[in-house]
Amino acid sequence: MELWIKVFEVMFPVIAVVSVGYFFGKMTNVNMKPVNIILLYLSTPCLIFTSLTEDRVQFIEILNIVYIGTLLVLIGVPITYFLLRTFKKDPKVFLNPIIFPNTANLGLPVVLFAFGDAAFDYAILFTTIVFFLHCSFGILFINGISNIKEVFKIPLIYTVALALTLNNFEVEVYKPLNISLDLIGTTCIPLMMFSLGHKLSETKIINLKSDMFLSAIRLSYGFIISLIVCNLFNIDNLLVKVFIIQYSMPSAVFNYILADKYDKSPDRVASIVFVSTVMSLVTIPFILYFLMK
């Protein structure tokens, strides 16, 4: 019972802030697009930069997260593609929502509250890897290689490259500057949760039965594949927990953004994001219980 209380204490602030965003969206007509732009182009890059340059994560750990995280995301693509074809679901529409989980808006705060600052630094890096793959392979999956250049428009790519270079050569960033960037980065977590709730408030369920089926695949697939991949490597137990909990998250909101941009049934994708997020409120506590034992 004591462990379940700890799980509840982890989930409560996440659910509370997401719920505030949801009801705020239902009761107002505020445009959240500027906030999402701030998240994408300012607060998240600052959060990642300070995490990588303050020597909180060793370079060897960074390399582990890069190659294991990349393998974790991409290894199941052919399996998922086959499943979608078997059940007569269009991979151009549904592959991304299953492959790419919400490691940011939901995954980061859950890791922070459950496992602390050290795990949070790992989670930031894994989120960066997932986002990079989403902006490259994700675009390739739904719209072909002609739009692969979109990845180079995302500031996170340059943020990570610069931070890793400074980290590798042990270049110390001017402390007052790093403190300033860290302050901006701290706005990231509450804004992510609030933004998720607000986005869900705008979403309509299109086909509940189909969405529940696809959401169940996302949630179970994420847990199983991360458990298998992590067991193949001799890595820190804390990093294993980060990989498993983050890759077991529901479908990412960014799936909807890409589907809308490239006109690949954005309403269907948004519906899966909504349903998988609601379902994850049941699955995440059980996964946390398993990891916190």
Domain holding 136: CATH number? 1.20.1530.20
Q: The tokens of 17 are what?
A: 């802030």
Burial 267-293 (b: 16+ CB within 10 A, else e): ebbbbbbbbbbebbeebbbebbeebee
Flag whether pLDDT at 181 surpasses 80: yes
What's the distance, CA 103 to chain centroid? 2
Give the pLDDT confidence score for residue 55 in this predicted structure: 65
CA-CA distances (angstroms) from residue 39 to 20, 65, 151, 238? 18, 23, 17, 27
What was the pLDDT predicted at 98?
96
> What letter would DSSP give residue 55?
T
**C-alpha–C-alpha distance, residues 33 and 221, integer Å:** 31
Which amino acid is located at 203 in the chain?
T
The one-character DSSP state at 101 is B
Cα separation, 202 vs 118, in Å, equals: 34
> pTM for this one?
0.89
- Closest-CA residue to 220 (of 189, 242, 200, 247): 247
Which amino acid, 143? N
Helix axes 266-292, 237-247, angle to 10 degrees: 150
Radius of gyration of the chain (CA): 18
Spatial separation of the C-alpha atoms in residues 108 and 245, rounded to whole Å: 10
pLDDT at 12: 95
The Cα 73–Cα 1 span in angstroms is: 34
When comparing pLDDT for 226 and 135, which is higher?
Answer: 226
Summarize the confidence of residues 147-151 as an average pLDDT.
Answer: 65
Nearest to 277 by CA among 1, 85, 14, 10: 14
Per the structure, the count of domains in the chain is 1
- When pLDDT is cut at 50, 70 and 90, the band that residue 17 belongs to is very high
DSSP code per residue over 138-168: HHHHHH-GGGGGGGGG-HHHHHHHHHHHHHH
Tell me what the mean pLDDT of segment 242-259 comes to: 92
In the DSSP assignment, the letter for residue 243 is H
pLDDT at 124 over 70: yes
* Domain containing residue 255: 2-292
Pair 224, 217: CB distance under 8 Å: no
Cβ 156 vs Cβ 128: under 8 Å: yes
pLDDT in tens, 38-77: 887 888 888 888 887 876 777 778 888 999 999 999 998 9
The CA-atom distances, in angstroms, between 276 and each of 118, 146, 216, 285 are 28, 30, 7, 14
